[in-house]
Structure 1
Amino acid sequence: MASNLETLVTVFGGSGFLGRNVVRALCKRDYRVRVAVRRPELAGHLQPLGRVGQIHAVQANVRYPASVEAAMRDSQVAINLVGILTEGGGQTFDAVQAKGAETIARAAAAAGARMVHVSAIGADEDSASGYARAKAAGERAVLANVPSATILRPSVVFGPDDQFTNRFAALARMSPALPLIGGGMTKMQPVYVADVARAVADAVDGKTKAGGTYELGGPEVLTMREIMQIILEITGRDRVLLPLPFALAKLQSLFLQFAPGALKLTPDQVTLLQSDNVVSDAAKAAGLTLEGLGITPDALEAIAPQYLWRFRAAGQFQRNGV
């Protein structure tokens, strides 16, 4: 029986938040992992995730096809995790999430490799959001070049070092009020990063349907207000939840898109918040979900206290309600 050590998996964008967890999941299953990133000299933190020689970082930029083709050399599987939340310089939604995905898919097809592409729930070519349109274009390009590719669409992903729960916890530490854009009624289905990584590894194992599009969500559908309340309870912060109409939020975002850190808010992010981000009934009926893969997802309230404690006034030694 062939060992997974004989399979080389190239992970594009493997040094980021989701990437670290995917690399760890692949290493646990004995795959050889090539991590293709723009700055391989900054990817040393990945080495402890596997055995000596199991992980190798190489330089690649999805905007430059030659580098992508070089990263795919002798690889049997390509995983695309590359994505951006905000645009800057040459790193536009179209260049990275649409054309970049196409470049990786073409390289995978040329190498005769299988492909796993991580997109996002809400990918829609008719969306008013540039992010959502680029995600949909990327999916279309991947399937056009590698029809057997697996598409994974997670809802908002949480976990240590995420840009979601950590962002709002940081904002609560510095501000007496937290904005609820659109009244905080937008529905989301937060999914734990380790569960998404497991789904990626299962796809590499061949457990997913060829050409299938899976929607990955956690066990609960929560409104943004409910998510904020959970974060405040975990961090022991008493903050005002201030409803903010979409029109006013869009106006403020014209200025806040240039703000640093947790204060940053772009017009495109406001547009995204106008649509729910949950697993569809069609995906559930077809078994194209985490549960369909035999994965029982972890809840936000079960995992977030393990890493959000650092935002409490007294850190890990503070008890809830004290």
Structure 2
Amino acid sequence: MVKAHNNGIGAAFAPTQDDRTMSKGLVTLVGGSGFIGRYAARALVEKGWRVRVACRRVHNAIDVRLAGPPGWVDVVQANIRDRASLERAVDGADAVVNLVGILFEHARQTFEGAQTDGAALLAEVAREKGIKRFVQISAIGADPDSRSPYGRTKAAAEEAVRERFPSAVILRPSIVFGPEDQFFNRFANMARFVPFMPAIGGGKTKFQPVYAGDVAAAIAGAVEREDAAGRTFELGGPRSYSFNELYDIILKMIDRPRFKIPLPFFVARPMAYISGAVWRHIPPFSWGLLGDPPLTGSQVEMLAYDNVVSDGALGIRDLGVLQLESIEAIVPTYLWRFRPYGEFHKPREA
């Protein structure tokens, strides 16, 4: 498989337009216009699969067609809560991958609706349509007893999918990095405007960041491998880091020294819940102007637990992804824009 390290969607691909009749089949990516979906489309095409990207706003996914030669990637409209649109989206597919997920709630978009109810409906439709393989993208931290609504609804989604599609493959990635990520970009951008960085919980929480391209390769493996059926895999990168270590890496990459101020959970929780509650009532037309919200209560609750692959869990290498990219190799290729002078910045001498 060609592993392209460019920041765009296009890459070098094995199949050509004339090879469509020789494809392995069709995979529908529900929620495929998002961060991971764009990488998954490319990985599947490289493996010889045709891809149908199903998303709410087709106009936001036109560039996903560049993930393959003409005719290999199609984009259709679908809503994870609408049965009729899902039936059309999965019709004729060999496999379905559910990539729908939200990091914070806003307006009518809730964790339960988008992540639990939507997954249940999609799995039910896939079973009724005779789909051979169903892949559910969950998250490390999915736990029915989690204090975080995000973690609880991810766990509920896994259970709902298993009930309706017992052979489903469940993938639980740690934080995912890449040019469009919501972790490294967020904190690098924050460092542009504040003199210190909040080390929530003392910055001791551990993460095992995994590259979006490697998650995409794992998705392709989950679609293809017969021995993956009915199993759960936790996806992590080559090593784990504490929150403080990730802060240090980010600040060094963007050459912006900042103090790290420990912020106990009993202080961070009320602040985050208030900001999240305010954000939920901001009109949708303002989202593009304001950007993503600060850390929400649910995200702070997730920071109370390590986000690393569990001992004894099936991992990304069990899906055939043997060479993993590191944050040191990939993240500098897109965080440069947060340096004081961008690409023209000269690092200060120690």
TM-score, normalized by length of structure 2? 0.87
Helix, strand or coil: the match of 1:247?
helix
C-alpha contact (below 8 Å) 1:4/1:31 kept by paired residues: no
With over 3 angstroms needed to count, the CA separation of the structure-2 counterparts of 1:262 and 1:106, relative to structure 1, is closer
Partner of 1:294: 320
Q: Is structure 2 residue 333 aligned with structure 1 residue 306?
A: yes
- 1:319 is displaced (CA, Å) by 3.9
C-alpha contact (below 8 Å) 1:171/1:263 kept by paired residues: no
Structure 1: runs of 5+ lacking an equivalent: none
1:46-86 CA-partner distances (Å, limit 9, x unpaired): 12111111111111111111211111111110000000011
Counterparts of 1:190-205 in structure 2 under 5 Å?
190-205=209-224
1:19-49 CA-partner distances (Å, limit 9, x unpaired): 1111111121221111110011221111211
Letter in 2 for 1:317: F
The sequence identity of aligned pairs, in percent, is 49
Counterparts of 1:169-188 in structure 2 under 5 Å?
169-188=188-207
Partner of 1:271: 301
In structure 1, C-alpha distance between the alignment counterparts of 2:332 and 2:24, rounded to whole Å: 39
Q: Which moved more, 1:253-262 or 1:120-129?
A: 253-262
- 1:207 is displaced (CA, Å) by 5.5
- 1:139 is displaced (CA, Å) by 0.6
| Equivalent position to 2:70, from 29, 48, 52 | 52
In structure 2, C-alpha distance between the alignment counterparts of 1:6 and 1:264, rounded to whole Å: 43
- 1:180 is displaced (CA, Å) by 0.6
In structure 1, C-alpha distance between the alignment counterparts of 2:293 and 2:95, rounded to whole Å: 38
Partner of 1:156: 175
Partner of 1:12: 30
In structure 2, C-alpha distance between the alignment counterparts of 1:228 and 1:66, rounded to whole Å: 45
Q: Is structure 2 residue 166 aligned with structure 1 residue 147?
A: yes
Counterparts of 1:18-97 in structure 2 under 5 Å?
18-97=36-115
Helix, strand or coil: the match of 1:277?
coil
In structure 2, C-alpha distance between the alignment counterparts of 1:141 and 1:58, rounded to whole Å: 25
In structure 2, C-alpha distance between the alignment counterparts of 1:317 and 1:25, rounded to whole Å: 33
C-alpha contact (below 8 Å) 1:150/1:208 kept by paired residues: no
Partner of 1:234: 253
CA RMSD of superposed structures (Å): 1.6
In structure 2, C-alpha distance between the alignment counterparts of 1:61 and 1:277, rounded to whole Å: 30
Helix, strand or coil: the match of 1:97?
helix
C-alpha contact (below 8 Å) 2:222/2:319 kept by paired residues: no
In structure 2, C-alpha distance between the alignment counterparts of 1:209 and 1:321, rounded to whole Å: 49
- 1:316 is displaced (CA, Å) by 2.1
C-alpha contact (below 8 Å) 1:184/1:225 kept by paired residues: yes
- 1:190 is displaced (CA, Å) by 0.7
In structure 1, C-alpha distance between the alignment counterparts of 2:22 and 2:183, rounded to whole Å: 34
In structure 2, C-alpha distance between the alignment counterparts of 1:40 and 1:181, rounded to whole Å: 38
C-alpha contact (below 8 Å) 2:218/2:320 kept by paired residues: no
